[in-house]
Structure 1
Amino acid sequence: MDCMIKHIKIIERMDQLIRLQATGSPEKFAQRLGISKTKLYRMIKLMRALNAPIEYGTTIQSYVYTEVVGFTFGFYSRR
């Protein structure tokens, strides 16, 4: 269970950095997340499997979403 929560937290952080267009190169992105480059690529593959439109923008040196999307995971009050 802890492993799943850890993965979700990484995806949440990835989403935040992608939205800010502040990921940097794949090496820098992995470093910012505290994971290996191999794991970064696996996480990007997982996000793409969940329909995240992620691409790497070479001119801005950052991963970006190619269309507007939202990501939410967790519980919240519906009051």
Structure 2
Amino acid sequence: MNVIIKQIKTIERMDQLIRLRATGAPETFAHRLGVSKTKLYRTIDIMKTLEAPIVYNVTLQS
């Protein structure tokens, strides 16, 4: 699969889980996406650069 398409699909899935507040801890979130924790953080940085409203709630762990 094209690398860009795979990245877009990952971002779409991340967005879905974030909106549902169903991400869990970073390790859990990465596992649900089938990516490493490093890849998760890199993708979150990309999303933030694109001005996505991403905030982690420690109480909800999401």
TM-score range, shorter chain: over 0.9
Query: Unpaired segments of 5 or more residues in structure 2?
Result: none
Q: Output the TM-score relative to the length of structure 2.
A: 0.97
Partners of 2:51 and 2:37 lie apart in 1 by 21
Percent identity between the aligned chains? 68
Equivalent residue pairs, number: 62
Query: Unpaired segments of 5 or more residues in structure 1?
Result: 63-79
Higher helix proportion: 2
> Could you say which structure has the greater relative contact order, defined with CA pairs below 8 angstroms and 6 or more residues apart?
2
Which residue pairs with 1:52 in the alignment? 52
Higher strand proportion: 1
**Partner SS for 1:60:** coil
Q: Output the TM-score relative to the length of structure 1.
A: 0.77
RMSD between aligned residues: 1.0
In the TM superposition, structure 1's runs of 4+ consecutive aligned residues that sit over 3 Å from their partners are none
Partners of 2:58 and 2:52 lie apart in 1 by 18
Task: Report which of the two structures shows the higher radius of gyration computed on alpha carbons.
Answer: 1
Partners of 1:50 and 1:6 lie apart in 2 by 18
